[in-house]
Structure 1
Amino acid sequence: MDVLIHVFVGLHIVGIGALLGGFFSQLKAARAGEARMIPAMLHGALTMLVTGVALVGLNQADDNSLNTVKIGVKLALLVVILGLVYVKRDEEKVESAVFGAVGALTTANIFIAVLWT
């Protein structure tokens, strides 16, 4: 079971890499006011959601202790990120505040994962 959990952790990291990488790839365009939500950002957020839910289930099945408050906070942030990216995915230009919020919430999600023990 540990190997399967580690595989899903790796996939979860790939998802956050796609989301954050998509954000970083649009920073130059954001400075010009022409940033957009690229497909990598949507796919990364969806990957994070699916693998995160799988990780909770796998850890519960393996009788590992879970911090449900931490999981709830991370899920809430991810739902907001996913909502923003999904709603704005077809727009040619996204407002700087919305684009910045996606980057800030993604970064907050990373720090919650790493620092909240």
Structure 2
Amino acid sequence: MDVLIHVFVGLHIIGIAALLGGFFFQMKAMSAGEARFVPGMLHGAFTMLVTGMVLVGLNQADGSPVNNVKIGVKLALLVVILGLVYVKRDEEKVSSSLFGTVGALTAANIFIAVLWT
């Protein structure tokens, strides 16, 4: 069971990397007001959602304690991120404030995962 959990943690990190990498890739365009949500950001957010749900299920099945409040906060942030990226994915330009919000929420999600024990 531990190997399976570690595989899904790795996939979860790949999803985070895709979302945050897409944000960093567009930062120069964001300063010019021409940023857009690239498809990799949407795929990364979906990957985070699916692997996160699987991780919660695997940890509960393994008998490990799960902090439901932490998971709920992370899920709420991810739903907002996913909603913003999904709705604005086809637009050629996204406002810098909206794009920055997605980056900030992604960073907040990472810090919650690492620091909230």
TM range (shorter): over 0.9
User: Following TM superposition, by how much is the alpha carbon of 1:8 offset from its aligned partner in structure 2, in angstroms?
Assistant: 0.2
1:77 alignment partner in structure 2: 77
Which structure 2 residue ranges, 5 or more long, are not aligned?
A: none
2:110 alignment partner in structure 1: 110
Give TM-score, length-normalised by structure 1.
0.99
Distance in 1, Cα, partners of 2:28 & 2:116: 32
Amino acid at match of 1:112: I
In the TM superposition, what whole-angstrom CA distance separates every residue of 1:53-89 from its partner, at most 9, and x where no partner exists? 0000000110100000000000000000000000000
Distance in 1, Cα, partners of 2:54 & 2:115: 21
Alignment root-mean-square deviation, CA? 0.3
2:2 is the alignment partner of 1:39: no
User: Following TM superposition, by how much is the alpha carbon of 1:109 offset from its aligned partner in structure 2, in angstroms?
Assistant: 0.2
2:54 alignment partner in structure 1: 54
2:88 alignment partner in structure 1: 88
Number of equivalences = 117
Distance in 2, Cα, partners of 1:44 & 1:31: 23
User: Following TM superposition, by how much is the alpha carbon of 1:25 offset from its aligned partner in structure 2, in angstroms?
Assistant: 0.2
After TM superposition, what 4+ stretches of structure 1 lie above 2 angstroms from structure 2? none
In the TM superposition, what whole-angstrom CA distance separates every residue of 1:34-71 from its partner, at most 9, and x where no partner exists? 00000010000000000000000000110100000000
